[in-house]
Chains A and B, each alone.
Chain A
């Protein structure tokens, strides 16, 4: 795709099962696109240089940082954000476990962590504690000290072998 600097371009993608056809500037970050054009403000921006992990989403099933992608790069893709994890307000088992183990305080980093954890459990339903910590090391949380998050993911990993982010 060749585009001029400020020329608008139309992209078409699916977010949380809903189809979006929107016109964007080529330089618009995917994180800004999701928040501003789709109104999905659950995706949070913490550093804009790919370290803190707060803006993590699932892009065609893989956890990626939405601040390191342009919206035009995801034309045709399927995206899941934190708003797509619950079912009409009913929390999924991972969310339930987060609350039970006090895995969140301010909640700002939580959406990204939930999505990375969903990806981990999708591909590796029984991760070891070390594997969970390794996955989590791509996220900064300044509130919890991480232990509650690890416990919450461990709980889901052990309780529900068939867990997927769509359950």
Chain B
């Protein structure tokens, strides 16, 4: 039965809708669990002169208090992939570097008592000047966060591809602008949670957490805890209440609770609260970009120069500064630009540390790149759609090698772009806009085309190092993932995946794939999504990030199922006395392709593998338990010229948006949003559309509402959901999603990753539409989020500078 590619309802749903999911806070894996509460710094930057814990230790139910001194004694700073000597521990040691940084931990019988005791801890601080602004942190007299580093720069690299100077000297026009992208999060509704248990008899740690690794961070944690990696067992429950990348940032707390468990000699549970989460969990970086484009009179972009500076907060921590490099291979986006110069900088300031987030680096990158297109169009007197058309990579150019080394596997960008214009009725929108302007209303149209990378190459993270620095250690490449398909003696089919889903329906899609390959009903296949580093088939790349399930994780499942299929057919071939190639699996049977009278039930074949191994064909092992690991060969290490293919598959997204802006209030109303996707073959369109819409709304939040805001002194201003605004149902515009399916030649099912694309495109396409709406005013849209307050202020400023065009009002 054909099940791959069908809109199949999710197997996860029944338990999640009846309250029978198993999330982190629901777990009680050990007796005598105690609860931890964390004391946090009220200062953004201060020296810790003393911590007095005696009173807290005497309080009822309290079992122990842990401070930075314990953490410095029992752990090493977390390793990070830059050469700057930054020391980051799970608890502040000597100094705090952001408001909300953990300073001490109390363990007590329950959370209420642990929180009571926090009030009894006295910390003496010596406040220091703080810096949160990217450009200020780079000034020579800025407060320095890490004395041993000497500056606030954690990483600094330059790249030069093609003939950039030639392109700029021959340009008819140079367009340049500076853009500011804000710090925002994804605020999963479930906060971080950790249970840690130290067994002193074996010096073995077991940690349960709603982390979505292990990927490279298991080794980072083992290094911090100074144990061999097989003494750090990480277990991740099958249900995670959303992550969108953010929960990778739980790893410092996993190490912290491991140390706490070791010191107090008890298993410890910690559930973060919402204020802690907003203050100090993780987020995307805020970024300043200086961008310059060399342009020909006909709109052709011949060269790009970019300086990008990411704010990684108080401590650079793994996998940062990867936010700078995740889109490095697709810097030139959907356009044929061969000359590129980049300067990438990671700066540390007194904000909370950053990490993975849906779109990782993409929203920050496409905001300046795609904002530039209408700016170029305006200067040349062209329609932005024509500037896009002029520069899009052509269908025949695939596989396309980008200036920085990316290898776009497949696509038809022209078709995608023309489809979005057609669905949006672009010409009609332009007519509506003209009519509205005549009535004194401000409608605007935004367009954006982006390339959506998926399936990260482990090697891209090493772009933070120079080729010489990289040459000193083992090259890094690949995107490997493992999966196991097994069948028990009574015929029950199980699949073990290591893709650590947090709502993306991996159990459903894995059962579709295995069901189809083995010719059984997918509902009969049981998928185990729980991750256990002691027993799951995992690699250094395993986890949920970079939309890697569709290109990589599902491919591992497919190959493991194929191994099982091959084995079953071999057994059937012997029993039926026909070559196994003449058989297929269908409706629970092995059956002759040309001779249906040759048939034997799957159950019987499986039974012989378990109950009667003597009858197996020669060379076939007993039992049915096959593991496959899958990687894609184009995920090569970066070369000595800094060329890198940072992802294995590249999808395409084209967006068109129509907005209306009220100049009296600054309010933005999104009238229509059309998005066209090409993510290769879709594995389950029901899940696909859900992922796309979720990613779009995340991007919409970043465009219009969400910001982790700080005042100039480093005090945090968005510590509750009343201050940090997330989109709700009433803010969602009409959205039309269309699909093209250009298969990837690199994955067995032709699938590419998806779900991050609109997080990357929505901020800029909305900004383009707003800028278009406000063309009659002399103002620039170069900073997000586009709050009514910001728009209103821009309009008032523009009005004071130059009254709005005659006849407009």
Beyond the given A98-B13, A105-B691, A106-B188, could you list 13 further A-B residue pairs with CB under 8 A, ordered by the A residue number?
A25-B112, A44-B25, A81-B19, A82-B17, A99-B13, A102-B9, A105-B690, A107-B241, A134-B729, A138-B728, A140-B189, A144-B693, A145-B690
- Known contacts A47-B721, A146-B732; is A102 also within 8 Å of B686 by CB? yes
Query: Would you call the interface of chain A mostly helix, strand, loop, or mixed?
Result: loop
Closest to A67 in B: B274
Cα A133 to Cα B731 in complex, Å, equals: 9
The interface residues of chain A lying within 8 Å CB-to-CB of B694 are 105, 142-145
A106/B503 in contact, CB under 8 A: yes
User: In residues 113-158 of chain A, which contact B (Cβ within 8 Å)?
Assistant: 114, 132-134, 136-150
| Cβ of B18 under 8 Å from chain A | yes
Query: In the complex, are the beta carbons of B17 and A108 less than 8 A apart?
Result: no
- Distance in Å from the Cβ of B42 to the closest Cβ of chain A? 19
Evaluate contact between B25 and A45: CB separation under 8 angstroms: yes
The 8 Å CB contact of A44, one of B10, B13, B20, B190, is: B190
Kindly state whether residue B730 has any CB partner on chain A within 8 Å: yes
Decide if A102 touches B687 in the complex (CB within 8 Å): yes
Q: For B690, list chain A residues within 8 Å (CB).
A: 102, 105, 143-145, 148
Q: Report the interface size for chain A: residues with CB under 8 A from the other chain.
A: 56
Residue pair B190, A98 in contact (C-beta under 8 Å): no
Binds B, one of A58-66, A71-79, A83-91: A83-91
In the complex, A89→B694 CA distance in Å?
A: 28
Within 8 A of B (CB), among A11-48: 25, 27-28, 35, 40-48
CA distance A85 to B14 in the complex (A): 12
Please give me the residue from chain A that is nearest to B701 by CB atom. Answer: A142
With an 8 A cutoff between CB atoms, is A49 at the interface?
yes
A-B contact pairs, 6 of them (CB 8 A): A46-B190, A95-B17, A105-B691, A106-B240, A106-B241, A107-B239
Type the 1/0 row for B12-33, where 1 means its CB is closer than 8 Å to any CB of A: 1110111111010110000000
Q: A85: which B residues are within 8 A, CB to CB?
A: 17-18
**B58 contacts the other chain (Cβ, under 8 Å)?**
no
When distances are taken between beta carbons in the complex, the residues of chain A under 8 Å from B726 are 140, 142
B414 to chain A, nearest CB (A): 28
Interface residue? B696 (CB, 8 A): yes
Q: Tell me if A42 and B18 are in contact (CB < 8 A).
A: yes
Interface hub of A83, A110, A139 (most chain B Cβ within 10 A): A110
A-B CB proximity, top 4 nearest: A42-B19, A107-B16, A108-B241, A106-B503
List of B residues within 8 angstroms of A48 by Cβ: 273-274
B689 interface contact, C-beta 8 A: yes
| Interface residue A51 (Cβ < 8 Å from any Cβ of B) | yes
- A107: chain B residues within 8 A (beta carbon): 12-13, 16-17, 21, 239, 241, 503
On chain B, the residues within 8 Å of A137 by CB distance are 728-730
B735 at the interface (CB under 8 A from A): yes
Contact of B16 among A40, A47, A104 (CB under 8 A): A104
Shortest CB distance A141–B (Å): 7
Chain B residue, CB-CB nearest to A84:
B19
Partner of A133, one of B17, B25, B729: B729
Q: Is the CB of A89 within 8 A of B112?
A: no
Which chain A residue lies CB-closest to B698? Answer: A142
A25-B686 Cα distance, complex, nearest whole Å:
46
Q: Does B407 contact A (CB under 8 A)?
A: no
In the bound complex, CA of A114 to CA of B693 (Å): 20
In the bound complex, CA of A17 to CA of B658 (Å): 51
Contact B274 A40 (CB under 8 A): no
State A52–B728 Cα separation when bound (angstroms): 10
Contacts of A44 in B (CB 8 A): 23, 25, 189-190, 241
B18 touches A142 (CB 8 A): no
Give A161 to B698 CA distance when docked, in angstroms: 34
Tell me, in angstroms, the Cα distance from A133 to B734 when the chains sit together: 13
Asked if A146 contacts B14 (CB within 8 A), the reply is: no
Is the C-beta of B388 less than 8 angstroms from some C-beta in chain A?
Answer: no
Q: How far is the CA of A136 from the CA of B726 in the complex (A)?
A: 13
CB <8 Å contact, A145 and B696:
yes
B728 is contacted by which of A25, A46, A91, A139 (Cβ under 8 Å)? A139
Question: For the complex, is B367 an interface residue (Cβ under 8 Å from A)?
Answer: no
Given contacts A136-B729, A146-B697, contact A41 B189 (CB under 8 A): no
Q: Given the complex, which residues of A lie within 8 Å of B188, measured CB to CB? A: 106, 108, 142
- Chain B residues contacting A81 (CB-CB under 8 Å) are 19
Whether, in the assembled complex, B502 has its beta carbon less than 8 Å from a beta carbon of chain A, the answer is yes
A99 lies within 8 A of B190 (CB): no
Cα separation A81 to B17 with both chains bound (whole Å): 11
Q: B244: CB under 8 A from chain A?
A: yes
Number of interface residues of B (CB under 8 A): 51
B742 on the A face (CB < 8 A)? no
B672-698 contacts to A, CB under 8 A, are: 686-687, 689-691, 693-694, 696-698
Interface contact B17-A99, CB-CB below 8 Å = yes
Is B527's CB within 8 Å of the partner chain A? no
Q: Is B721 in contact with A43, judged by CB distance below 8 angstroms?
A: no
CB contacts (< 8 Å) of B26 on chain A: these are 35, 41
Given A105-B242, A105-B694, A144-B690, residue A52 in contact with residue B189 (CB < 8 A): yes
Closest CB-CB distance, B758 to chain A, in whole Å?
9
Instruction: Find out whether the CB atom of A140 lies under 8 angstroms from the CB atom of B721.
Output: yes
**Contact pattern, B 727-749, Cβ under 8 Å of A = 1, otherwise 0:** 01110100100000000000000
Within 8 Å CB of A28, what residues of B?
A: 112
Chain B residues contacting A51 (CB-CB under 8 Å) are 720-722
Task: Please name the residue on chain A nearest to B684 by beta carbon.
Answer: A102
Q: In whole angstroms, how far apart are the Cα atoms of A78 and B492 in the complex? A: 42
Query: Contacts A91-B17, A99-B14, A104-B17 known; A133 to B190 CB distance under 8 Å?
Result: no
Interface centre among B17, B26, B689, B690 (most CB of A within 10 A): B17
Expressed in whole angstroms, the Cα–Cα distance for A58 and B444 within the complex equals: 44
- Picked from A35, A95, A109, the residue with its CB within 8 Å of the CB of B18 is A95
> Which one of B273, B728, B730 has the greatest number of beta carbons of chain A within 10 Å?
B728
Contacts of A100 in B (CB 8 A): 9
B186 within 8 A of A: yes
Within 8 Å of chain A (Cβ to Cβ): is B617?
A: no
Min CB distance, A155 to chain B, in Å? 14
Chain B residues within an 8 Å CB radius of A43: 19
In the bound complex, how far is the Cα of B244 from the Cα of A83, in angstroms? 27
Kindly state whether residue B187 has any CB partner on chain A within 8 Å: yes
Closest Cβ of chain B to A70, distance in Å, is 12
> Which B residues are in CB contact (< 8 Å) with A89?
14, 18
Bound state CA distance, A142 and B696, in angstroms?
11
Q: How far is the CA of A137 from the CA of B728 in the complex (A)?
A: 5
Q: A147's closest neighbor in chain B, by CB?
A: B693
Of A41, A109, A149, which is within 8 A of B25 by CB?
A: A41
Interface assignment of B433: CB less than 8 Å from any CB of chain A: no
Indicate whether A108 sits within 8 Å of B23 (C-beta atoms), given known contacts A28-B112, A52-B189: yes
- Nearest Cβ distance between residue A85 and chain B, in whole angstroms? 7
Is B248 close to A, CB under 8 A?
no
Chain A residues whose CB sits within 8 angstroms of the CB of B720 once the complex forms: 47, 49, 51
Contact call A91/B14, Cβ cutoff below 8 A: yes
Interchain nearest-CB distance for B27 vs A (Å): 9
- CB atoms of A108 and B729 under 8 A apart: no
Chain A residues whose C-beta falls within 8 Å of the C-beta of B112 in the assembled complex: 25, 27-28
Are B689 and A102 in contact, with the CB atoms below 8 A?
yes
How many angstroms between the C-alpha atoms of A144 and B505 in the bound complex?
Answer: 12
B residues in contact with A114, CB < 8 Å? 17
| Contacts A51-B722, A99-B9 given; does A142 touch B242 at CB 8 Å | yes
- The verdict on A86 contacting B18 (CB below 8 Å), with A46-B189, A51-B720, A145-B696 known, is yes
CB–CB B189/A147 < 8 A: no
* B505 proximity list for chain A (CB < 8 A): 105
Say if the beta carbon of B454 comes within 8 Å of chain A.
Answer: no
B477 contacts A by Cβ under 8 Å: no
Chain A residues near B649 (CB-CB < 8 A) = none
Cα A60 to Cα B19 with chains together (Å):
20
Nearest CB of chain B from residue A135's CB, rounded to whole Å: 8
- The residue that B13 contacts in the complex, of A35, A52, A104, A144, with Cβ under 8 A, is A104
B184 to nearest A CB, angstroms?
Answer: 12
Bound-complex Cα distance A149 to B690 (A): 11
